[in-house]
Structure 1
Amino acid sequence: MTTNQTLARTLKLPSLVLFGLAYMTPLIVLGIFGVVASVTSGASAAAYLVATVAMLFTAFSYGRMAAAYPLAGSAYTYVRRTIDARVGFMVGWAVLLDYLFLPMVIWLIGAAYLQAQFPAVPTWVWIVSFIAITTALNILGIKVANRANYILMAFQVLVIGLFVALSIGSVVAADGAAGLVSPAPFTGIESSFASVAAGAAIAAYAFLGFDAVTTLTEETIEPRKTVPRAILLIALIGGVIFVLVSYTTQLVYPGGVFENQDSAAFDIAFQIGGNLFSAVFLAGLILAQFASGLAAQASASRLLFAMGRDGVLPRRFFAAVSKRFRSPVFSLVTVGVVGFVALFLDVATSTSFINFGAFIAFAMVNVSVIVYYVKRKSEGTSLNPVMYLVVPAIGGIVTLYLMTQLDSNAITLGLVWLAIGVVILGVITRGFKKLPPEIEFAEVED
């Protein structure tokens, strides 16, 4: 195996956008609909609108950094290159929070919907089954191919389209065409700006992964132009889908009181489409969740492997690769074990928990753009102050505000996670006196 291989640049803007949307799993807007609607008292569309605006500002900053540093590593790389290696480590540690616990949330949401359909089967059985199956498949080295992702994306779009169409039909049948125009999904029932902001903090979970296209930089034609455009389009298209779906769904079911908020969309699917559509909806959601969980666990294990290989985490454990399957077995098992935390959390708290890490990364990417502007200006390079100062400043402020609206337990757990990161950073830098080792985001061969 040579060390100077390069990848063929074949990807254009449409391919990147499709990849990013598939990675985001758009059907998740229905997966967490009940949670967002409950927190906002029926103003879920407003929550997604606020989250979309916040993500667009941050997506713009990601685009600026992707153009400046067309490398893998995303927020970790941007902060390390612009600010400081130690700060970069802490951002990477916050991102690790997302990687480690994202599979857990995916499995928890899937289990909540299966338990709603099969109430006789305890939730823990579904969670354990998800963990066991996905861990076994990932150890065997099985990956979801790009074509499979596109097929899955097409199925998700079909299910979402049917859900919206049936919702519209249900509203028209009950209230006529005039019922389709209503401020209720934005105003809710006795909702407030604080509750909408709290809902937006949870709704941001649906956007996780909009920056995933940065990993395809080496395979993209004109990446400094194409990747930033793709990031913005992914956030925008995703936001439009989320607002539209939450709006029409909220028209069908005003307010935010549900028998089970974790699986509310399943009951609504039955209401608008009967047994047949509710079965199709459940199948689509579980298929999307399973594929997403498989990919998320694989990604998390690769990050743990990279950190182990570079000495950030214990090398003998996390950098170990199965001779037979060529997969990072211990790292995969670690992610699976973390998934058992889902047995003790609900969807609202778990999504808030991983959003804490995401908001840290988002805020620091915005800060990185500002620092980059200051450095380039000191070197005599002129950059647009609106693009490199105003936009990232707004993005950073909005992101930090949304972070303060997260579940209090999630914030506490997030701060504990950061404290652990500070301790680890202190150890590997010998009291913060030396730079931490740099994480190389290389792929494990299967």
Structure 2
Amino acid sequence: MATEERELAAAGLTTDISKYGYKQELDRTMNVWQLTAFGLNYMVPIAPAIIFGMLLQTSGGTVSLPYLLAGFAMLLTAFSYSVMVRNFPLAGSVYSYVGRGWNTHLGFIAGWVLTLDYILIPTVTASSSAYFAQQYFPDIPYWVLLAIFSVGTGLLNLFGVELISKMGLGLLILGEFVVWVSILVWANAVHSDGVGTGTLLSTQPFEFASISSLAAATSLAIFSFLGFDAITTLAEETKRPKRDIPRAIYWCIGIGTITMVACGYFGMLVVPDWQSHINDETWVNTVLFQVSKMTGGEGFGIFFTAGYLTELAVFNLVATAAGARLLYGMGRDTLLPKAIFAKVNKKWKTPHWSILIIVSIEFILGLSSNMTTLSNLVNYGALFGFATLNLAVIWLYYVKKKGEAPLSLGSTSNWKPTGLSHFRYFALPLLAFAVIVYVAINMDKLALLIGSVWLGAGIVYLFVKTKGFRKLPPHLDV
């Protein structure tokens, strides 16, 4: 193993994190396929079922278009992620990239806001799971089902990321199987039985109320793409982070976009009369369950629900893992209480206190908030983090001038982009930033308000913690 590690280091594919002031405490076990499975399980192949009704309601008729546009926006930002993970292959995601690539205080703020995603997304999925399960178990209290899908699945993270990696690929295949079987059943019902539109070729799934409503729906659809960000939180548990994390990110976005667009298209073929149901909260929260029952009967509805609940349980497992590592990165830098958030279990090599805190918050929020508000709020943190990360690429290469060269050029430090590389390191990040800002200004107004309050709280906390932005941990003073 030591020989393999030396060979990887010589090829510039891994890194000694001691040069960043850290000790390697997490086990490096992940490869590109395990990372891709982790990211797609975080995206959830069946993710449209969570917010299908909300996307339909927000856009005024389409689910496919918001997913297609969100996939394009995320691809642009993914280019910036691949650059930053090559420069800083550390746990902490946007927090580490913005902090080291641009400004340490801004990095904390980006990480602070992004914690909304890593706490609220599993809260939404756990709530959604409870709603779906109650279709078949109406006598079981909501809070019991919520506890099973939030606390029960999240606590499996205490046993280490290797468990997740071993389970991940098989569970991903199961999830994709359920999705594509469902799409085939829906399509067959439309084509053969005359359900819904009665034709497989229709413009109906692409209708929307207005450009602003489509943009608002696109901002909500980003909810389903955050798995690619979650991949980067495992940088210190990946054998070849500089090569394999970018590859896994691109695979995730490509597969995820195709799956979600197809799901949105064929699902809408079945329910052209959606306006007559859109004011029913239960229908909005379980649209694809209703679609499955309409096209395949009660038995297929059970099949779809079983697959859906399994996938969401897997999602909560990986979401808690990613969120715990974001908090671990911030705690290790003492920007959150180190004794709690940076504590690593000696046996399982996991940040156990971060895991326990996340699952506790998920359960409490799931009891006290509604899915629509939480789903909209999730994307505030993502969009803020993505916007700052894209600008951080430009800052690192054109202001600080300390960026690494591409792997093909030997990963040399303090490299200056020339010629066509300006497109990769300046034009693309700037375009991605502009797209993110446009989507963000069309977000739900309540989500913008609550997210801004959370942002303000983070700024105040940081001001006090750093004595007026004057103090930093020594290894962050870069």
Q: CA deviation at 1:26?
A: 1.4
Q: CA deviation at 1:360?
A: 0.9
The corresponding residue for 2:256 is: 238
Task: State whether residues 234 and 325 of structure 2, in contact with CA within 8 Å, keep that contact through their aligned partners in structure 1.
Answer: no
Percentage of matched positions with identical amino acids: 34
User: What amino acid is the match of 1:248?
Assistant: F
2:206 to 181, 186, 194: 186
Query: d(CA) in 1 for partners of 2:95 and 2:30?
Result: 26
Task: State whether residues 324 and 355 of structure 2, in contact with CA within 8 Å, keep that contact through their aligned partners in structure 1.
Answer: yes
User: What amino acid is the match of 1:185?
Assistant: P
Q: Which aligned pairs between 1:98-113 and structure 2 lie closer than 5 A?
A: 98-113=117-132
Q: Which aligned pairs between 1:186-205 and structure 2 lie closer than 5 A?
A: 186-188=206-208, 191-205=209-223
1:397 to 424, 434, 437: 434
2:454 to 404, 417, 420: 417
The corresponding residue for 2:314 is: 291
Alpha carbons of structure 1 residues 53 and 72: separation in structure 2 relative to 1, 3 Å: same
Q: Which aligned pairs between 1:139-218 and structure 2 lie closer than 5 A?
A: 144-175=163-194, 179-188=199-208, 191-215=209-233, 217=235
Given the alignment of the two structures, is residue 375 of structure 1 paired with residue 399 of structure 2, yes or no? Answer: yes
The corresponding residue for 1:48 is: 67
Given the alignment of the two structures, is residue 363 of structure 1 paired with residue 387 of structure 2, yes or no? Answer: yes
Task: State whether residues 334 and 473 of structure 2, in contact with CA within 8 Å, keep that contact through their aligned partners in structure 1.
Answer: no
Q: RMSD of the alignment, in Å?
A: 3.1
The corresponding residue for 1:127 is: 146
Given the alignment of the two structures, is residue 354 of structure 1 paired with residue 378 of structure 2, yes or no? Answer: yes
Alpha carbons of structure 1 residues 179 and 4: separation in structure 2 relative to 1, 3 Å: closer
Q: CA deviation at 1:327?
A: 6.1
Query: d(CA) in 1 for partners of 2:155 and 2:107?
Result: 33
The corresponding residue for 1:443 is: none
Q: CA deviation at 1:66?
A: 2.3
Q: CA deviation at 1:102?
A: 2.5
User: What amino acid is the match of 1:354?
Assistant: V
Task: State whether residues 90 and 418 of structure 1, in contact with CA within 8 Å, keep that contact through their aligned partners in structure 2.
Answer: yes
Q: Alpha-carbon deviations, 1:46-91, whole Å to 9, x = none?
A: 1111111111111111122223333332211211122111111111
Query: d(CA) in 2 for partners of 1:419 and 1:375?
Result: 27
Alpha carbons of structure 1 residues 96 and 41: separation in structure 2 relative to 1, 3 Å: same
TM (normalized to structure 2)?
Answer: 0.81
Query: d(CA) in 1 for partners of 2:44 and 2:357?
Result: 24
Q: Alpha-carbon deviations, 1:409-431, whole Å to 9, x = none?
A: 22111111111111111111111
Alpha carbons of structure 1 residues 116 and 144: separation in structure 2 relative to 1, 3 Å: farther
Q: CA deviation at 1:310?
A: 3.8
Q: Which aligned pairs between 1:45-84 and structure 2 lie closer than 5 A?
A: 45-84=64-103
TM (normalized to structure 1)?
Answer: 0.87
User: What amino acid is the match of 1:231?
Assistant: I
Given the alignment of the two structures, is residue 332 of structure 1 paired with residue 332 of structure 2, yes or no? Answer: no
Query: d(CA) in 2 for partners of 1:380 and 1:18?
Result: 33
Q: Which aligned pairs between 1:268-279 and structure 2 lie closer than 5 A?
A: 268-279=291-302
Q: CA deviation at 1:208?
A: 0.8
SS in structure 2 of the partner of residue 432 of structure 1: coil
Query: d(CA) in 2 for partners of 1:324 and 1:78?
Result: 29
Task: State whether residues 362 and 399 of structure 1, in contact with CA within 8 Å, keep that contact through their aligned partners in structure 2.
Answer: yes
SS in structure 1 of the partner of residue 286 of structure 2: helix
User: What amino acid is the match of 1:192?
Assistant: S
Q: CA deviation at 1:375?
A: 3.1
Q: CA deviation at 1:297?
A: 2.5
Task: State whether residues 84 and 97 of structure 2, in contact with CA within 8 Å, keep that contact through their aligned partners in structure 1.
Answer: yes
Task: State whether residues 202 and 348 of structure 1, in contact with CA within 8 Å, keep that contact through their aligned partners in structure 2.
Answer: no
The corresponding residue for 1:435 is: 472
Query: d(CA) in 2 for partners of 1:317 and 1:33?
Result: 37
The corresponding residue for 1:115 is: 134
Q: Alpha-carbon deviations, 1:243-264, whole Å to 9, x = none?
A: 1110111111124544321111
Given the alignment of the two structures, is residue 32 of structure 1 paired with residue 51 of structure 2, yes or no? Answer: yes
Query: d(CA) in 1 for partners of 2:25 and 2:146?
Result: 41
Alpha carbons of structure 1 residues 332 and 61: separation in structure 2 relative to 1, 3 Å: closer
Query: d(CA) in 2 for partners of 1:69 and 1:332?
Result: 24
Query: d(CA) in 1 for partners of 2:215 and 2:301?
Result: 30
Greater displacement, 16-25 / 38-47: 16-25
Given the alignment of the two structures, is residue 344 of structure 1 paired with residue 379 of structure 2, yes or no? Answer: no
Query: d(CA) in 2 for partners of 1:101 and 1:374?
Result: 35
Query: d(CA) in 2 for partners of 1:16 and 1:203?
Result: 22
Task: State whether residues 11 and 219 of structure 1, in contact with CA within 8 Å, keep that contact through their aligned partners in structure 2.
Answer: no
Query: d(CA) in 2 for partners of 1:367 and 1:53?
Result: 18
Q: CA deviation at 1:228?
A: 2.6
Task: State whether residues 376 and 382 of structure 1, in contact with CA within 8 Å, keep that contact through their aligned partners in structure 2.
Answer: no
The corresponding residue for 1:267 is: 290
Q: CA deviation at 1:305?
A: 4.5
* Number of residue pairs aligned between Structure 1 and Structure 2: 435
User: What amino acid is the match of 2:75?
Assistant: L
Query: d(CA) in 1 for partners of 2:59 and 2:132?
Result: 21
Query: d(CA) in 2 for partners of 1:338 and 1:231?
Result: 28
Q: Alpha-carbon deviations, 1:177-208, whole Å to 9, x = none?
A: 981111111114xx211111111111111101
Query: d(CA) in 1 for partners of 2:332 and 2:417?
Result: 39
Alpha carbons of structure 1 residues 182 and 156: separation in structure 2 relative to 1, 3 Å: same
Query: d(CA) in 2 for partners of 1:52 and 1:320?
Result: 36
Query: d(CA) in 2 for partners of 1:213 and 1:436?
Result: 26
2:268 to 230, 244, 250: 250
Greater displacement, 414-423 / 345-354: 345-354
SS in structure 1 of the partner of residue 199 of structure 2: helix
Query: d(CA) in 1 for partners of 2:53 and 2:449?
Result: 24
